Chains A and B, each alone.
Chain A
Amino acid sequence: MTDLAVKHRNPVRWFVLAALVVLLLLLVGPLLVIAVNAVKSPADYAANGPLSIPGSLYWDGIVDFWNRVNFGQKLWNSFVTALVVAVLGVVLSILNAYALGIGRVKGRVWFLVFFLVANLLPQEVLVYPLYYISKEAGLYDSLFAIIIIFTVIQSAFGTYLLTSVYTEFPRELLDAASVDGAGKWRTLWRVVVPVSGPTLAVLFTFFFIWTWNEFFLPLVFLVSNDNQTVPVALGVLQGDRMMDATTTSASALIGILPAILFFLIFQRTLTRGIAAGAIK
């Protein structure tokens, strides 16, 4: 690089940095407001408004909300649902994508179009059919309904994505496996899955977080309080005309913490998975 370019780069760098800081504040700002109001007493909020710094830390909002909705159980429901959906969704995606991407089934383009369309359908369209089917099957107001529905919805996306990854799968590896005498089944689990591990980890993480954050279908299908997931439980605070700002903030805070934690834990898999995809 010439000297001129270096000279030009410095002010640009500062500009980029400033822009990033502004962007960061925009992103973190709402979270900060939530955090600030979560530990503010209602009287403090009433007297000083939402943007003031709380005079003293007030944990009752969080504790009250936790007990009021039996939050521990909601966490467990959400965790089980999201985990099962993530695992089943990935397995289903692998099987589908193996057939479509590597097996090159006849009419696979149409399969892919089908999955893409299924993926684009808004959930509101699906509600009534799903409602009647689950009612007939006795699964209305049951976590099974949610697990089955989201396994299918997530794996539709997973199949679409994974198929395009598997279409590019190195043929040499597959040929080598078949020369060594591995059948289709062995090839899948011993060769294809380990090699595409990083991508699968990304899928798993996304499925987990997406299912965790789902609101609409759980709201419709999980009628009893005992079956509800975290986002539905947060809805309890939504009153007719009244809004309890401090408790709502408290609930929002403990509602997003698990998702943030999960994201932090799996952040490395995510970056690795995306990087792995990039090399291919």
Chain B
Amino acid sequence: MLRSRSGLAAGALLLAATLGLTACGSDDSSTEGADAKSLTLWHYEGPNSAMGIAWNKAIELFKASHPGVEVKFEEKGFEQIQQNAQMILNSDSAPDILEYNKGNATAGLLSKQGLLTDLSDEFTKRGWDKKLSSSLQTTAKYDEDGIMGNGKVFGVPNYGEFVTVYYNKKMFDQYKLAVPTSFDEFTKVMDTFVQNKVTPLAVGGAEYPAQQIFYELALSKSDRAFVNDYQLYTNKVDFKGPQFTYGAQTFADWVSKGYIGKDSAGIKAEDMGVSFTQGKFPILISGSWWYGRFASEIKDFEWGTFLFPGNTLHPGSSGNLWVVPEKSKAKSLAYDFIDITMSPEVQALLGNSGGVPVAADASAITDPKNKELVETFNKISTSDGLAFYPDWPAPGYYDVLVAGTQGLINGSKTPDAFLDEIAKPYDQNRSDLGK
């Protein structure tokens, strides 16, 4: 027993020591700003992803321009930041700058709780407002209720994303099909595949892909005003109006015509992607986040992308944000770092690595395929064509849409019933917000 007693004593000593250490740590916090000697930086992008590569470069550039400042980079899991951001940012363990999810329920919530630094002044002073198009700025600004679109700037996005159509060139050639340029041509292409007993669309009905197709279809009948009504609660949205009715009806038609496989209701996004890389489906409608992975992993066939034919609006938005916690001990260093990530050099590297930079000159992108992707994004972004994602408006809406589109795929719900089902939580949230 003597042993465990002395162990306890040692534990108590260590405890006292850690208390002392943290006490010292909090004394240092008064030296806030430019003269800080270290910058703690967190993000959750893989080292081989376009963002990971570009941000590594940004860290190097930062070190070069800030000699004597130590950069403490920690790669985090998405889950850890997602679960604990509130607790971490409220403690002394908060980093000086971190990547965080855009949206009302995430960055919006933190800004409402006063855990994020208002970046509005830096935003104009450093010219970030000129580099970001207005639809990209939507996700950077949050009002007092934490609703995006207006108010102060709490985050700066580095990359964008949008939903596009990936196609398997080998399978298109096999049936002598050209890239469709109109919605009619697109359905004709899919008809040809169905006649040849090939299911045209790889769809993951158990996760986000199905609802993005539904939203894409609804957007083909929509304008910016409708998107603002739906996403920002500017005006009341009629779920039985022409936009959503068309979206739901066409989605159901696509299932009955065999464009979308009946068994896809249970398919996960990951399996959808793998089935496309295996060459089992000729077409996949999903986000630009697949791009880098397809580029490095598809070896057996040629593939390409085209925008959903006939649409001017596409699901898409800025990527995640750089945010500066209110408790950051090196705010001005954090601003410097954000500025470096927005520099032409880092933005071009992001594009060349298969990502979608927000402020890159397309001529700086050397890879022809990546260049096409970046040009497409710039075109959508500057023509105000980013319509965000269907699940953004209300908390928990993602699951509602997954269940709803699953019902459409396996035929257990009529388009009408589907629209009723998804209207209810939306209207509920709207009245909760008092709008």
Chain A positions within 8 Å of B, measured between CB atoms, are 42-43, 45-50, 68-69, 87, 91, 131, 135, 137-142, 144, 185, 189, 219-220, 223-225, 232, 235-245
Query: SS class of chain B's interface: helix, strand, loop or mixed?
Result: helix
Question: What are some 7 contacts across the A-B interface (CB < 8 A)?
Answer: A42-B296, A49-B278, A141-B91, A142-B18, A224-B74, A224-B93, A236-B44
- A interface SS class: helix
Number of B interface residues at 8 Å Cβ cutoff, please give it. 46
Complex Cα distance A235/B45, Å?
Answer: 12
Contact of B77 among A42, A43, A237, A244 (CB under 8 A): A237
Cβ–Cβ < 8 Å partners of B21 in chain A: 138
Residue contact A238 to B77, C-beta cutoff 8 Å: yes
A-B CB pair tally, cutoff 8 Å: 102
Indicate which residue in B1, B93, B299 contacts A47 across the interface (CB closer than 8 Å).
B299
Identify the closest chain A residue to B297 (Cβ). A46
Q: CA–CA, A239 to B49, complex, Å?
A: 11
Q: Taking A135-B91, A144-B18 as contacts, is the C-beta distance between A240 and B101 under 8 angstroms? A: yes
Cβ-defined partner of B46 (8 Å) among A87, A232, A239: A239
Q: With an 8 A cutoff between CB atoms, is B175 at the interface?
A: no
| Cβ-based interface call for B293 (8 A) | yes
Max chain B C-beta neighbours (<10 A), residue from A48, A69, A91, A140: A140
B83 touches A219 (CB 8 A): yes
Q: How far is the CA of A48 from the CA of B279 in the complex (A)?
A: 10
Q: Is B417 an interface residue (CB 8 A)?
A: no
**B residues with CB within 8 A of A:** 1, 4, 11, 14-15, 18-19, 21-23, 44-47, 49, 74-80, 83-84, 87-88, 91-93, 101, 208, 269-270, 274-275, 277-278, 287, 289, 293, 296-300, 320
CB-CB < 8 A to B14: which residues of A?
144
Q: Which residues of B contact A241 (CB under 8 A)?
A: 208, 269, 287, 289
The verdict on A42 contacting B297 (CB below 8 Å), with A48-B278, A144-B18, A225-B75 known, is: yes
Nearest-CB distance from A135 to chain B (Å)?
Answer: 6
Residues of A within 8 A of B75 (CB): 68-69, 225, 236
Given contacts A131-B87, A141-B93, A240-B101, contact A46 B46 (CB under 8 A): no
Contact flag A49-B274 (CB < 8 Å), given A141-B93, A238-B78, A242-B289:
yes
Residue on B with the closest CB to A219? Answer: B80
Interface centre among B87, B88, B278 (most CB of A within 10 A): B87
Are A220 and B91 neighbours in the complex by a CB distance under 8 Å?
A: no
